[in-house]
Amino acid sequence: MEAVAEGLWGLADEFEKKGEIGKAVKCLEAICQSHASFLPIVEVKTRLRIATILLRHSHNVNHAKSHLERSQLLLNSIPSCFDLKCRTYSLLSQCYHLVGAIPPQKQILYKALHLTSAAAPDVSAKLWCCNFNSQLANALIIEGDYQNSISTLESGYVSATQICYPELQMFFVASILHVRLLMQWDDQTANEVERALQRCNQVWETMPSDRRAHCMGLLFYNELLHIFYRLRVSDYKNAVKHVDKLDAAMKQDSKSRGQLTRFTTTTTTSAGNDSLEPTYFGNAKRALQDKLFLAPPPINGEWLPKSAVYALVDLMIIIFGRPKGNFKECDKRIQSGIHIIKEELIKLGITDDVREVDLQHSAIWMAGVYLMLLMQFLENKVAVELTRSEFLEAQEALMQMKNWFIRFPTILQACESIIEMLRGQYSHSVGCYNEAAFHYVEAAKITESKSMQIMCQAYAAISYFCIGDAESSSQALDLIGPVYRMKDSFVGVREEASILFAYGLLLMKQQDLQEARNRLAKGLQIAHVQMGNLQLVSQYLTILGNLALALHDTGQAREILRSSLTLAKKLGDIPTQIWVLSVLTGLFQQLGERGNQMENDEYRRKKFDELQSRLADTRSSIYHIELIDKVKLQVQQFHEIDMKRTIADESMRVNLDIPESVGLSTPMPVPSSSRLVDLDTGRRGKRKL
């Protein structure tokens, strides 16, 4: 009978190679359903093969799970077969993960770890121990048990160290950094994050350079985690070198696409020994050349699919290029990233008419990854278009964000506050300050991020200042006063720069010009030295030039305003150009430079007319009222238990914690330069860079 089984295994292999999956499964199930008796080990191997095919080529997870559960029962009566038992436990754990059954997944993994602890401490047992610890850590993360997840990853690191496997050691220390950085970071754990970062550096440097060259998955994982850390602590300058390194690696990898990266571990692909990978690392159905392996078999897993990692690299280029005004490169990367993501969404079955409730459970996690990345790209597109006053383009991108959110409200729940904030930015950019303040306040209410709450309060305060009446100024003071008093507790510098700008406007309203100058000068230093945000620098320079003029320091005012105008032109930032030109007109008027005044004012009127034309087109758009309307997004929430359990998986937070790159806005233009010279800040504002 064993010869019959061998023949059916071989026939199933042929059918699988031809893509005839149904026939392959039928060949194998003929063994399980036969009235003739096969040895239990033959049935176990066959059911493992069926489960592997089903997981690789279909969404029939429950069918695969049934075969594996039967295999587990058969193996209970067999005293040996260590490798078969481990393979069964690993695949069964993946099935439980895919259907969202975390308690039974943990139970089977604890059983598997007990098996490895009782086995001889050889390389095979330690590798399986690493596999089970990695899956258990992820299950604990899903339940929000970060501390035990880290302890489990530490156990995996110990096993990797015992067999002197630096690639696996790096995998575990990077995973620990991931948990501490993206899921557990607070004021109390900041030191642990720093130590985890240094540990990654130490392990990576101990790996021979020739072995590092073959670990592309670990390279991307490690470098991206370093970038996320630098973003969290607002260390933008040191983050750039990691971004450049990733971009170069991505370009090199694209050139050599097709040459598979393999770890130096012997493995075969027979019916009895397929490499296994925890499904949470990515989609197991993709070709090998489309994967960035994090660890060797029997893990062979990914953090994210290669396409998602490539999209993340594009996103990093945008995040660091946009504040510097590198819009041409940003446009290219936004287009590239959105194209990659939409292709992957189609592969997951997400077409124009698909909504959240239509998704198969096994596709939810990966769909969430790509949808969150898509929203990040669209957010940056909105920001770029608002900066260069392309309001219609910004409208279109923001409406896309809104429509994606309405279709996938649970998966994209974290984006609701981002959309509200961007509605505020859009409203402010087109001069609708009441509506802008409303959306900023709503965004602050929705978000759980303290950083974003602070930023939105600052934005709302500036919008209230722009309204200009006494009641609005009082509302601005109510928002900005408490936040300013707690500014020393901020983690990053973005919040401080925003608060200093808003507080500077407040001091100007109160006619405390010298103190306003001091606060704004400090904010300028942060924007220039630590953030490198050209739009923010331009806006700070403009208001400081205005202050210098009010304090009769005309020499400094001229120098500052010319620098600001140069930056605003580079960015294509028309409102800031008009603002600077208005102040310069007032300067030339004070100095009696009639020729310069007339030339400058003529150019200002030209830019003003250009802006008014764009605003007229924007306000006539069918989307304009929908975006500024003081109504929260209305969506149908789907209360499906399995959906919520999957979305609650914190490991899905691929890049959700990348800080919003929010700069300070330019003001809307005023009809006369005299209001600016008189320090009426009612028309000055803030919008996203």
| Dihedral pair phi/psi, residue 59, rounded to 5° | -105, 15
Q: At a CB cut-off of 8 Å and minimum separation 6, what does 116 contact?
A: 86, 125, 126, 128, 129, 132
Contacts for 162-169 with beta carbons within 8 Å, 24 or more apart? 162/121, 162/126, 163/123, 163/126, 163/127, 165/296, 166/203, 166/206, 166/207, 166/211, 167/207, 167/211, 167/215, 167/218, 167/263, 167/295, 167/296, 168/127, 168/130, 168/295, 168/296, 168/299, 169/203
Residue 377 has pLDDT above 90, yes or no: yes
Side chain identity, residue 400: Q
Q: Assess contact for 357 and 406: CB atoms under 8 A.
A: no
pTM as predicted: 0.83
pLDDT at 400: 97
| Rounded-to-integer distance, Cα 293 and Cα 101, Å | 26
| Higher local confidence (pLDDT), 345 or 269 | 345
- b/e code 268-302 from CB counts within 10 Å (16+ = b): eeebbbbbbbbbbbbbbeeeeeebbbbbbbbbbbb
When pLDDT is cut at 50, 70 and 90, the band that residue 610 belongs to is very high
- Which comes out higher in pLDDT, residue 264 or 517? 517
Residue 444 tokens read as 């602050």
Instruction: Report pLDDT for 269.
Output: 37
Q: Is residue 280 within 8 Å of residue 243, measured between CB atoms?
A: no
Half-sphere exposure of 494 (CA within 13 A, CB side): 26
Residue 662, helix vs strand vs coil:
coil
Does residue 262 register a pLDDT over 70?
Answer: no
Residue 550 clears pLDDT 60, i.e. is over it: yes
Q: How far apart are CA 403 and CA 384, in angstroms?
A: 20
Closest CA to 63 of 20, 87, 35, 32: 32
* Chain segment 66-85, per-residue pLDDT in tens: 999 999 999 988 888 999 99
pLDDT > 70? residue 654: no
Q: Token pair of 174, please?
A: 């990077």
Measure Cα distances from 421 to 376, 428, 495 in Å. Answer: 13, 11, 15
Q: List the domains of the chain with CATH numbers.
A: 420-532 (1.25.40), 533-632 (no CATH)
User: What per-residue confidence (pLDDT) applies to 286?
Assistant: 53
Q: What is the pLDDT of residue 271?
A: 35
Helical H runs in 322-430?
A: 327-347, 361-387, 391-407, 416-429
Percent of the chain whose pLDDT exceeds 90: 57
Mean pLDDT of the chain: 84
In this structure, what token pair is assigned to residue 78?
A: 């067999």
Q: Which of 293-297, 428-432, 618-622 is least confident? A: 293-297
Calculate mean pLDDT across residues 485-495: 74
pLDDT of 563 higher than 70: yes
Euclidean distance between CA atoms 283 and 388, whole angstroms: 39
Axis crossing angle, helix 146-162 with helix 123-142, rounded to the nearest 10: 170
Rounded Cα distance between 150 and 144, Å, is 11
Token pair listed for 521: 């000068």
What are the two backbone dihedrals, phi and then psi, of residue 498, each rounded to the nearest 5 degrees?
-65, -45
18 neighbors 55 (Cβ within 8 angstroms): no
Decide if pLDDT at 372 tops 90.
yes
What's the chain's Rg over C-alpha atoms?
Answer: 29
Residue 612, number of CB atoms within 10 A of its CB: 11
What number is the average pLDDT over the span 546-565? 92
**Best-predicted range by mean pLDDT (301-305, 436-440, 481-485):** 436-440
Q: pLDDT class for 661, splitting at 50, 70, 90? A: very low
**248 in Cβ contact with 328 (< 8 Å):** no
Indicate the pLDDT class of residue 291, thresholds 50, 70 and 90: confident
Helices marked H in 58-81: 61-76
- 396-424 pLDDT, tens digit each: 999 999 999 999 999 999 999 999 999 99
Q: Give yes or no for a contact between 22 and 57, defined as CB atoms under 8 angstroms apart.
A: no
665 pLDDT above the threshold of 50? no
pLDDT score recorded for residue 300? 62
User: Is 80 exceeded by the pLDDT of residue 688?
Assistant: no
Give the model's pLDDT for residue 220.
Answer: 93
Tell me which of 489 and 136 has the higher pLDDT. 136
How many angstroms separate the CA atoms of 299 and 217, rounded?
Answer: 13
